[in-house]
Homo-oligomer: A and B are copies of this chain.
């Protein structure tokens, strides 16, 4: 019995997809699991997203702003005399402290681009956005390298299951800044 004209059906499906990935990983993502999570019929998910790639692109778009938002929210970043490395290391810590789940989610979608060309533009855009945030404070090469270093540090924390060493991150990031 119809819940006809559900204007943000799409949005609710994307939200459900994000929750599914958060809980079960990309391997657990299917039209059916998303349908169940969003409490819509199977046909509805296939109607709005013909392929899982489309659904992942939408999910990556929506969830990917997480870290950028954390970074952008740091006022210290805009201050020209501020401690850039310290601010970035702190942002990283803040993001990781929010729990493995959130970070894992964003990273898993991010890393899925390795095998799914459809996700690459979104992933690349993400890295570019971050670099753009850094642009006012440094040259493009440094910004790019800082983003790469932050990605590598995150990767090590998440991959090895170890804890985040903010002081180490600050020191490493500081060396990148000429």
Give residues in A with beta carbon < 8 Å to B: 25-27, 104, 107-108, 110-111, 113-115, 117, 120, 123-124, 127, 141, 144-145, 147-153, 155-156, 158-162, 168, 171-172, 175-176, 178
Contacts and interface: CB of A to CB of B under 8 A. Distances in A.
A156 B127 contact: yes
Contact of A176 (B26, B114, B162, B175): B175
A162 B120 CA distance: 10
Contacts of A124: 159-162
Contact of A108 (B114, B152, B176): B114
B114 A175 contact: no
Contact of A155 (B104, B141, B155, B171): B155
Contact of A161 (B108, B120, B148): B120
